Amino acid sequence: MVELPQDVVEFSALEEYLNRLQAGERPDREKLLRDHPQLESALRCLEALDALVPVEGSEGEPEGSDSHSLFSHLPRDFAHFELEEEIGRGGMGVVYKARQKDLDRTVAVKMILDSYLASEEHVRRFHEEARAAARVEHSNIVHIHEVGQWNDQHYFVMEYIEGTSLAEKLCHSTIEPEQAAMLVQRVARAVEHLHQQGIIHRDLKPSNILIDKDGEPHVTDFGLAKLFQKGGQSTATGIIVGTPSYMAPEQAAGKSELLGPRCDVYSLGAILYELLTGRPPFQEDRPLDTVMKVLSGEPPLPRSLNRKVPRALELICLKCLAKVPDERYESAAALAEELGRYLKGEPLEVRPPSLVRRIVRWSRREPALATRLGVLGIFFCVQWTNFFVNQNSADFAAFHWKALTIIGIWTASAIVFQRCMKSPQWWIPTCFVWGTLDSLILFFLLWIADGVASPLVVCYPLLLVASGLWMRVRFVWFMGALSLVSYLVHVVHFYGWRQKLHAGFDMDLDRHVIFVVMLFGVAWGVANLVRRIRVLNTYYDRAG
């Protein structure tokens, strides 16, 4: 008998396995891999390709559903459950409403999406979620009934909450401030119970809070829950996990060693913010933009978005959203107690921020305007100092008042344009008009000063660096072109019509060549950096 080559045997085994799958059977995948371990990569590749092909007649299936899933048609038996309908789907798992046949009760069954392709990390996180939720008992935390595996499908069974998620509730109705305070207070007490068990949730958000028919909140979804120990060290650093709009800055920065209960306090503050204003503190078009805002920005004041928000509740919310963990409430229990004082009308522990703190927060909220006003303020002080030193000079006095007029125009225009930037449809046009005006004002300021002999020429590279804040490559090159043309006009004007300034000035052209090359280099560097960030942003958006 002729022995077939090994690759032919493996191909025949794989073909038989696929034919049985197409016939609707359930061949033993693990046995196939035990007999032919070399087929693992090919099998995973085929299954991944199969998942991309829509099943005939599956137009009604949710986007991202598993093409080879057992559960494309419901109701369907699964172990000792009858799956009735899909009620939730996330990046790692799918949740079904089901009837537990042996106990005749309604439960929620969660299982890993695409179990055949689930990595060991997904399975580990899945079981960590089940263990984290199973170890707590609280009326506002969804209970875990059972954890198991059936036909290679990992699953766990949860208490079924009759109602809707807080996210869905926000889409269909508004919540009054007092009601928002009571709801977050109850969630904070449940989160404190988690913390007492050594668990931080790390993904608190409206979609992970279920509201039952009596209006009671229930915390769920422990897929990112983390066990912590005071004084312990984290083994995973530099990993960003969570939902950008609700994650704390230390979480967004991937600083795992700084994650603790106050990370969840921040998320509770973000939820309270959304309940009060109808939007999260930070919500940009792309996830990475949101992360960058979380790291360095400041959200609009709740009262600026909703005048009905009480000042006291705004202070509580902003304290939760502090960038530095030590400036937040020390625990979820402390937040719950503060909300209790608010609801009872008692004095709060939180105090209004100092003038310095308000200025810092405002500068984070309006970085472009704050930068301009800061630079103009410094120039204003320097100009007045020079005026008093040279007050006997008539020429300097004339320049002084012209310069102050230009500074005043620059300041007023910056304030007007910053307001225009708040309108999404006018954002890009305002960006280019504002940049053009900045360049023109600097041009006229140098025109009445000493031109290229003035130290104010350093403002050109500053304009290019500031243009990078808008995260638009074309805008950076636009400002680079304006700065280059403006500087060259001043060079021609200086050598042709300002002979009085030539004395004591290096007249060699090489300094101007070097300055032009430097301008081009700064523009190229800023544009390249912006381009890299935008590419990373696109990748993060697709990966998310």
Provide the annotated active-site residues.
203
SS3 of 383-444: HHHHHHHCCCCHHHHHHHHHHHHHHHHHHHHHHHHHHHCCCHHHHHHHHHHHHHHHHHHHHH
- How many CA atoms does the CB half-sphere of 539 hold within 13 Å? 6
SS3 227: strand
Kind of pairing between the strands at 144-150 and 93-100:
unpaired
Compute the residue count for the chain: 544
Are the C-beta atoms of 200 and 264 separated by less than 8 Å?
yes
Helix (H), strand (E) at residue 531: helix 510-543
Supply 117's token pair. 């392709």
Angle at 275 between CA 271 and CA 281, to 5 degrees: 55
Supply 57's token pair. 């007649």
Cα(21)–Cα(23) distance, integer angstroms: 5
Cα(354)–Cα(359) distance, integer angstroms: 9
Angle, helix 287-296 to helix 510-543, in steps of 10 degrees:
110
Report how far apart, in Å, the C-alpha atoms of 511 and of each of 448, 496, 516 are.
22, 17, 9
